[in-house]
Amino acid sequence: MKKLIPVLSEDEKKGMILYFTVYEKHAEEFTEKAFDRLKEHPVLGKLIRETPDENKKINRANEIQLQKDAIFESNWLPYIEFQVKQGIAFAKLGLDFKSWFEVLSLLRGFIVPHIHRDYENSNDFLAALNGMNQFMEIEMGIIGEAYMCQKEEIIQEDREKIKKLNDELEHKVITRTADLEAINKELDAFTYTVSHDLRVPLRAVNGYAEILNEDYGTKLDAEGKRIIQSIRYNTSRMGMLIDDLLSFSKLGKKEVKSYSIDMNELTQVALNEINSLVSHAAVIKVGKLHSVTGDYSLMRQVMFNLISNAIKYSSKNEEPCVEIESKEKDGEIIFSIRDNGVGFDMRYVDKLYGVFQRLHSQEEFEGTGVGLAIVNRIINKHKGRVWAEGKVNEGATFCFSLTK
Amino acid sequence: MNNEIEILLVEDNISDAEMTIRALKKNNLGHKMLHVKDGEEALEFIFATGKYSERTVENTPKVVLLDLKMPKVNGIEVLQKIRADDRTKKIPIVVLTSSNEDPDIQECYRLGVNSYVVKPVQFEKFIKAVSELGLYWLLVNQPPK
């Protein structure tokens, strides 16, 4: 604020005193007139209307005293501080800087005729005019400073607001993450329950059916034994369903790693795995496959599921054949697994990828109906697509695409 | 002493226990086996307290087949207590669990379990798993001297 204190020559000080003497004499009249003119002003009008006359009087007396101290005693600091404070307050009310010019030029219009009259034909006239201009300039300097301060304050407030919003956001993220973690934990507990607790009674049913067969088999006729076999078959199947459902639900949580994959090598690994688990007569033709980026173990699962499906559904053909190929199209790598098996009716193509959805009965082809659901989920996790084409008794082609 | 216990089966589920015992009996391993229904009784047996106070702790079984999920004292706690005592810490312990999803399996390995077996739903597999297990620990594995 000290930088706002003006350095005045004796002449300048004298001019300012001349001006102020006139102003002080008529101050009440000027302000009344100014208030009258400004009563429609969008910001000041309201203030003028709402401030009690008594307060206006006190404020004016106070301001005049401060101005006098500044001009007559060169004690500027109290006045500057007062005016900066007032400027900031008005700025906060929404009064723009430009309005201050209007107020001052209004006052000037009131004052100049009086200066003219009081100092007519004397050297003091010009000195008083100069004094007035200089004082008003100083005043505008102070108000300008006030507006700068106010802007700083606004920026600071904005910064604080932004910080507060950020803090709130961060807090929200933390809460949401905690919620998600809780849900995940619940899911883990659920998975555990499914895998653990559901198996216990199942094991008992299966076991006791076999004990019945072993210990009392001689007392049962063929129908009795068939019923026992049926009980055991169904419990094993439920065991498989539980296992498959678990591996499907585990996929949801699994993080997808991203590596470059040699798909020919991966396909060979999947084929070796299949050959070690099932004996089949299918001729498997693997073309030159494109490399892709993805999760190795998940992609092996995809190939394992699709190839073992192809082998399974072509097993009733006299010369079963499975062809695995890949091609590049529109920036995507498309893999296809084609077989010459029983195929499917395209009307049911939408059902292929649903969990536990099957297009064939257990008697025709064994399975739980989870394999393609797993393929779908894995490829989705890789941001790729799956689709299939088929015709009854004319084979099926299962495709999936991955980005390059 | 010819009637000493070689296999301690700790299993609260009666059905699972019955099938495990049946499998052991089929392999002529049943006669030296004791079945206890919870961790508390297992610890009483191992440490020769309560109704087993006639025993001596040093007379350890050749293998403990331990279920994890049990009322009162669970399998993990039993494992911990057996491993914490110099007299019993070398007893071979095989954990029986219903699922390889079991988060306790990692904990079991940390606590020094010798092996774990997932109880299969299919009876033949269950019998096979239990039989192989009993035979292995009784016939193949030389207990530490």
**pLDDT tens digits for A24-76?**
999 888 888 888 888 888 888 888 888 888 888 888 889 999 999 999 999 99
Interface test with A, best of B99, B119, B128 (most A CBs within 10 A): B99
pTM listed for this prediction: 0.54
pLDDT bucket at A89, cuts 50 / 70 / 90: confident
**pLDDT, tens digit (0-9, with 9 covering 90-100), for A362-383:** 778 888 888 898 999 899 989 9
User: A191 CB near a chain B CB, below 8 Å?
Assistant: yes
pLDDT bucket at A165, cuts 50 / 70 / 90: very high
Residues of chain A in contact with residue B101, where contact means CB-CB under 8 angstroms, are 191-192, 195-196, 246
**Residue A210 to residue B124, Cβ atoms within 8 A:** yes
Interface test with B, best of A187, A194, A206 (most B CBs within 10 A): A206
Retrieve residue A282's tokens: 């299918």
**Percent of chain A beyond pLDDT 70?**
99
Q: How many CB atoms lie within 10 A of CB B92?
A: 19
The pLDDT of residue B102? 65
Residues of chain A in contact with residue B103, where contact means CB-CB under 8 angstroms, are 188, 192
**pLDDT, tens digit (0-9, with 9 covering 90-100), for A175-228:** 999 998 888 778 777 776 777 778 888 889 998 998 999 999 899 999 999 999
Question: Which among B16, B18, B98 has CB closest to A196?
Answer: B98
Question: Which among A192, A202, A208 has CB closest to B101?
Answer: A192
The pLDDT of residue A187? 76
pLDDT bucket at B2, cuts 50 / 70 / 90: very low
Question: Which among B13, B102, B121 has CB closest to A236?
Answer: B121
In order of A187, A238, B104, the CA distances from A182 in angstroms are 9, 29, 19
Residue A208 half-sphere exposure toward CB, CA atoms < 13 A: 9
DSSP readout, A231-262? HHHHHHHHHHHHHHHHHHHHHHHPPPP-EEE-
Burial of A97 (0-12, 13-18, 19+ CB in 10 A): middle
At position A119, the amino acid (one-letter code) is: Y
At position A107, the amino acid (one-letter code) is: L
User: A188 CB near a chain B CB, below 8 Å?
Assistant: yes
Average pLDDT, chain A: 89
Q: Give buried/exposed letters for A308-318 (b at 16+ CB in 10 A, else e).
A: bbbbbbbbebe
**Residue A239 to residue B124, Cβ atoms within 8 A:** no
CA distance A281 to chain B (A): 28
At position B55, the amino acid (one-letter code) is: R
**Residue B122 to residue A236, Cβ atoms within 8 A:** yes
The pLDDT of residue B140? 65
Q: Is the pLDDT at A327 greater than 90, yes or no?
A: yes
Average pLDDT, chain B: 84
Residue listed under structure tokens 């004016």: A60
B103 contacts A192 by C-beta, under 8 angstroms: yes
B77 contacts B70 by C-beta, under 8 angstroms: no
Question: Which among B19, B103, B121 has CB closest to A199?
Answer: B121
CA-to-CA distance for A373 and A369, rounded, in angstroms? 8
**Residue A206 to residue B99, Cβ atoms within 8 A:** no
**pLDDT, tens digit (0-9, with 9 covering 90-100), for A102-123:** 888 888 999 999 998 888 878 8
CA distance A218 to chain B (A): 19
Retrieve residue B93's tokens: 């312990």
Tell me how far the alpha carbon of residue A303 is from its chain's centroid: 36
- Count of A-B CB contacts under 8 Å: 67
CA distance A401 to chain B (A): 32
The pLDDT of residue A397? 96
Q: Which residues of B touch A (CB under 8 A)?
A: 13, 15-16, 18-19, 22, 69, 97-99, 101-103, 119-124, 126
Kindly report the backbone phi and psi dihedral angles of residue A359, in degrees, each rounded to the nearest multiple of 5, phi listed first.
Answer: -105, 0
Interface test with B, best of A203, A213, A246 (most B CBs within 10 A): A203
User: A189 CB near a chain B CB, below 8 Å?
Assistant: no
Question: How confident is the model over A122-128, as a mean pLDDT?
Answer: 87
Residues of chain B in contact with residue A232, where contact means CB-CB under 8 angstroms, are 122-123
**Residue A195 to residue B69, Cβ atoms within 8 A:** no
CA-to-CA distance for A339 and A324, rounded, in angstroms? 9
Question: Which among B98, B103, B123 has CB closest to A199?
Answer: B98
What angle do helix axes A222-253 and A124-197 make, rounded to 10 degrees?
A: 160
Question: Cα-Cα-Cα-Cα dihedral of B85, B86, B88, B91, to 10°?
Answer: 120
CA distance B72 to chain A (A): 18
A136-141 long-range contacts (CB < 8 A, ≥24 apart) are A136/A104, A136/A108, A138/A4, A138/A6, A139/A83, A139/A104, A140/A100, A140/A101, A140/A104, A141/A4
Q: How many CB atoms lie within 10 A of CB A87?
A: 23
**pLDDT, tens digit (0-9, with 9 covering 90-100), for B84-114:** 999 999 898 988 887 666 677 888 888 888 8
Q: What is the 3-state secondary structure (H, E, C) of A156-208?
A: HHHHHHHHHHHHHHHHHHHHHHHHHHHHHHHHHHHHHHHHHHCHHHHHHHHHH
CA distance A228 to chain B (A): 13
**Residue A235 to residue B121, Cβ atoms within 8 A:** yes
**Residue B120 to residue A210, Cβ atoms within 8 A:** no
User: A190 CB near a chain B CB, below 8 Å?
Assistant: no
CA nearest B81: which of B45, B34, B127? B45
**pLDDT, tens digit (0-9, with 9 covering 90-100), for A231-242:** 988 888 888 888
CA distance A302 to chain B (A): 22
CA distance B59 to chain A (A): 33
CA nearest A306: which of A387, A215, A402, A236? A387
**pLDDT, tens digit (0-9, with 9 covering 90-100), for B22-62:** 888 888 877 788 999 999 999 999 999 999 998 888 888 98
Residues of chain A in contact with residue B99, where contact means CB-CB under 8 angstroms, are 192, 195-196, 199
In order of A16, A20, A74, A119, the CA distances from A9 in angstroms are 11, 16, 11, 21
Q: Is the complex ipTM higher than 0.85?
A: no
Chain length of chain B: 145
